[in-house]
Structure 1
Amino acid sequence: MAQRSFLVRALWFVLVGWWLTPVLINIAWLLNVTIVLIPLGIKLINLVPTALSLAEPRGLDAPESGRGQTNLLVRAVYFVFVGWWLSWIWANVAAFLAVTIIGLPVAFWMFNRLPYVTSLYRFHG
């Protein structure tokens, strides 16, 4: 996909991204709470940076994505007891910071760590 210009990304943020991101976050967490729809919820979580500013979507299908990851059972237990509620708070705080403009850099930092806060998933590369 072609890299989008800063102007296009800024316009997207001002017109759409600031309100679409909290909607996407909360839909994702409603899906995650159902347990059955967790895969769809996780896909939506990974689209948060794209919804906010048209950033390139993160891929989870890299061949080496399993290297250096926390054990899947540990990640599942973490998600059930901590990840689902902590990541909801984390993402909504980040969405609030994004609309304050001055908090935008912190919001991007938080959104980029959202998969880890949710399920201890680490992106490589």
Structure 2
Amino acid sequence: MGERSLLTRALWFLFVGWWLTPLLVNVAWLLGITVVLLPISVKLINLVPTALTLKTPQSTVDPESARSQHNLLVRAAYFVFVGWWLSFIWANVANLFAVTVIGLPIAIWMLHRLPFVLSLYRYDG
């Protein structure tokens, strides 16, 4: 599917994204508490930009961006010691910003960066 229009994405945010995103973030965080459901949790967090504004990741993998990802062991250590709790705080602060007109641009910026805050994953959307 091609890139959606700005109007479509704005309408999605107004009618769905603003309430779906906090729900998705908190369900993902709860799933992430268990080791068994952690992969599902990470997948859900990586869907946050799409749930918020229908932002889709690039369909082709750019070799340059793949090289710019942090080493998997570094990302795993970061997730265990920092990412799991920081992403929860980050996402919920962003959700609070999202309910105000003034804070909305900050909230969108923060939520689009949530995959990076969780696990240092560079989302190429």
Give TM-score scaled by structure 1 length: 0.84
Distance 1:60 1:42 in 2: 19
Partner amino acid, structure 2, of 1:90? W
Q: Which segment drifts farther, 1-10 or 90-99?
A: 1-10
Partner amino acid, structure 1, of 2:107? A
1:95 aligns with 2:95: yes
Q: Which residue of 2 aligns with 1:62?
A: 61
Distance 1:7 1:119 in 2: 31
In structure 1, the gaps of 5 or more residues are none
Distance 1:93 1:10 in 2: 21
Q: How big is each residue's C-alpha offset from its partner over 1:18-73, in whole Å with a ceiling of 9 and x where there is no partner?
A: 111100001111111112222211111121122112222x2698363541222222
Give TM-score scaled by structure 2 length: 0.84
Q: Which segment drifts farther, 23-32 or 3-12?
A: 3-12
Residues 21 and 67 (structure 1), Cα distance of their counterparts in 2 relative to 1, 3 Å cut: same
Give percent identity, aligned residues only. 65
Q: Which residue of 1 aligns with 2:35?
A: 35
1:51 aligns with 2:51: yes
Post-superposition offset of 1:2: 3.0
Distance 1:106 1:21 in 2: 15
Q: How big is each residue's C-alpha offset from its partner over 1:64-114, in whole Å with a ceiling of 9 and x where there is no partner?
A: 354122222222111111110000100111122122121121112112221
- Cα pair 2:28 2:45 within 8 Å, conserved: yes
Superposed CA RMSD in Å reads 2.2
Partner amino acid, structure 1, of 2:113? R
Q: Which segment drifts farther, 61-70 or 105-114?
A: 61-70
Residues 68 and 10 (structure 1), Cα distance of their counterparts in 2 relative to 1, 3 Å cut: closer
Distance 1:91 1:7 in 2: 24
